[in-house]
Amino acid sequence: MESRDSPPVAASPDPRWLADEMLGRLARYLRFLGYDTSYAQDLRDLEILHKAREEGRTLLTRDRQLAMRAKASVLLRSLDLEGQLRELRRAYPALRGEVRFLRCSLCNALLASADRSSPVPPRGVPEPLWGSSEPVYVCPSCGQAYWEGSHTREIRATLERVFRPGAGARGTPP
Ligand SMILES: [Zn+2]
């Protein structure tokens, strides 16, 4: 390989994704990974393409025609979440695999640390957890609260299967 003077690749910003209607679960996972991910619900093809272009997003879709019409897209074939994450990782090897409490998995808004001065926990947060020093995050847009718990363990287990060294590096059977 030839080496030339070029800006460091590590400085490249995170991609922003637009998941089409069939990829809602993948969109939620990408938000758990901290990626700015829009979900194209109830949008027609032209609106999806317009949104991707306007917002500089890479379209994630299982629709070949749609993928070909987008300026930037990743065509996914798998029907299940883990397969889709593996395919995305092959297309975009820099994909991170760690959960970050950065974005709301439901609406994509940036999360904020919960206001611990209130004795009343945010909706859905168990009292004992609120009394502990466990970090709690709240979505300022939809009110969803996030903390380390059984559901994050499940998400981490899924990510571990997809991102463990060697996983997805080779092709999966068709
Ligand atoms: Zn939200």
In a domain, 151, yes or no: no
Task: Record the pTM.
Answer: 0.87
CA distance readout (Å), 135 to 58, 145, 165: 32, 11, 29
Question: In degrees rounded to 5, what are phi and psi of residue 63?
Answer: -100, 110
Amino acid 168: pLDDT: 53
In the chain, the number of structural domains is 1
In a domain, 141, yes or no: no
Question: CA–CA separation, 118 vs 139, rounded Å?
Answer: 16
- Of 13 and 137, the one with more pLDDT: 137
Q: Quick check: helix, strand or coil at residue 150?
A: helix
Report which residue type is found at 154: E
- In the reported structure, the alpha carbon of residue 118 is separated from the centroid of ligand 1 by a whole-number distance in angstroms of 20
In a domain, 1, yes or no: no
In a domain, 124, yes or no: no
Domain coverage including residue 54: 15-99
Per-residue pLDDT tens digits for 91-106: 999 999 999 999 999 9
- In the reported structure, the alpha carbon of residue 174 is separated from the centroid of ligand 1 by a whole-number distance in angstroms of 36
Residues with CB under 5 A from ligand 1 (ion): 104, 106-107, 109, 139, 141-142, 144
